[in-house]
Amino acid sequence: MLDKADTILEKVWIPDIFDLAQLSAFLISREEYHDLLFVCSDQRSKLINGAKEIIGEANVIVPEQQQ
């Protein structure tokens, strides 16, 4: 988790430790299950924007923004 957190923080600043842990855990899980999508219903843009930057916009789902 710490290595993934370092990797994330080298690319984007996510100040909330819980958001950073969530994204780190996702990256670790994705190493085993390559087709996972990151689903986030939290409207805080730092987590959503950070996830999009790290894993790509197509791999991030925000339910409130889905049509």
- Residue spans of the domains in the chain: they are 2-65
Residue 2 and residue 25 in contact, taking contact as beta carbons nearer than 8 Å: no
- Whether pTM exceeds 0.85: no
Q: What pLDDT was estimated at residue 64?
A: 75
SS (H, E, C) the chain: CHHHHHHHHHHCCCCCHHHHHHHHHHHHHHHHCCCCCEECCCCCHHHHHHHHHHHCHHHEECHHHCC
Q: What pLDDT was estimated at residue 67?
A: 54
- pLDDT per residue, tens digit, the chain (67 aa), is 999 999 999 999 999 999 999 999 999 999 999 999 999 887 767 899 999 999 999 999 998 765 5
